[in-house]
Structure 1
């Protein structure tokens, strides 16, 4: 993505959502979240594949392959696109570093980092969590049965249910819990199904399945 011109009045006029993960492979659950984020009012949604995820096992497909699958999946989706910003960095894929880099590249954009509620439970152990909050909002997508928060979260942060209007009205520091309809699918389930040779139609776009087949992934 090309670097944008500086905004002379210092105001961040656009609102983008950031969804990180291994995307190993991308599946329809990821894409449905991205589509819903666009419907909430975000002008753009970036899907950011990790190069070296700090909190989960290393992906099976390499970065180039996962980016190619994301490009195929997003080809017909308006305002939804993959970003290679973490793949081109040799270090661990820290969200705080990613957001800081994006803020330098796009000074007219305010960012909201999107995570599942399971990831939110361990947020205090992320790299520089407070720095991330100073640079972006957080949108926590609720998961059935996941409700508890840690003592650190209770003492330091206020997490509450709110609509997209609050996230779109503030540049950083807001933490919102949001309910989204969930699809019962995970990348690990999809990889196991592909290895077994199961029919995975509609679990990921046909273009992604074609890429997986051509490159003999997840066998």
Structure 2
């Protein structure tokens, strides 16, 4: 089986995540994709929303996709989320499957700073999801994925919410309702 791995803070998960992942899944014939919310990214300093809120939003966003799944491995592990530790866990859980880590160009650019990055290259394949605005070469063994992209970010959504601007069109309806019902991000600074 070919399994895609898609990690992130998902703070919040948005349609750009879902569209990009689905397009890569189709293009590369992945059998399923596992969404892995991070507790604390070693490359981000901002504190994400509550873990349970982020998990519920991911569950709501992927509910209609039978081949999208959620794994709490990084949330259940204490401390910083290293991709290496998650890869070890996934290799043990899926010993006979081929793993494909889905990443953006920002992650690709900083890959050599990742904990045990050379070991990671031996453990799974890496697909770099390109944005339309990206103009860069992707070196082997990384795999370039030119796919349909919606240029939206969680940062933009949080800023819009904090400023009282429309943001509904960036989210799955159930995620939008959850954010509104729970007044998430309303105290976010507009910076």
Cα deviation, 1:2-30, whole Å, max 9, x if unaligned, reads xxxxxxxxxxxx11011111100000000
Summarize the alignment of residues 92-171 of structure 1 with structure 2, pairs less than 5 Å apart.
92-143=80-131, 144-147=133-136, 159-160=139-140
Question: 3-state SS of the aligned residue for 2:175?
Answer: helix
Larger Rg: 1
Structure 1: which 5+ residue stretches go unaligned? Answer: 1-13, 150-158, 161-173
Contact 1:47 1:83 in 2 (8 A): yes
Secondary structure of residue in 2 paired with 1:139: strand
3-state secondary structure, aligned to 1:130? helix
Q: 1:78 Cα shift?
A: 2.4
Alignment counterpart, residue 26 of structure 2, candidates 30, 33, 39 = 39
TM-score, scaled relative to structure 1: 0.79
8 A contact 2:24–2:145 mirrored in 1? no
* Aligned residues of 2:129 and 2:145 also touching (Cα < 8 A): yes
| 8 Å contact kept, 2:24–2:147 | no
**Which aligned pairs between 1:187-202 and structure 2 lie closer than 5 A?**
187-202=154-169
Equivalent residue pairs, number? 184
SS of 2:156's equivalent?
A: helix
Q: Secondary structure at the match of 1:18?
A: strand
Residue equivalent to 2:59: 71
**1:203 matched residue in structure 2:** 170
TM-score (norm 2): 0.90
- 2:88 aligned with 1:88, yes or no? no
Q: CA deviation at 1:148?
A: 6.2
Distance 2:22 2:105 in 1: 19
Distance 1:103 1:136 in 2: 9
* 1:145/1:79 CA distance change after superposition, 3 Å: closer
Q: 1:206 to 1:59 in 2, by over 3 A?
A: farther
* 1:54 to 2:22 alignment: no
* Structure 2 residue 17 is matched with structure 1 residue 27: no
Structure 1 vs Structure 2 CA RMSD: 1.5
Partner of 2:189: none
Q: Structure 2 stretches of 5 or more lacking a match?
A: 187-191
**Structure 1 residues 52-92: Cα deviation after superposition (integer angstroms, max 9, x where no partner):** 11001233311111011000111111201222111000031
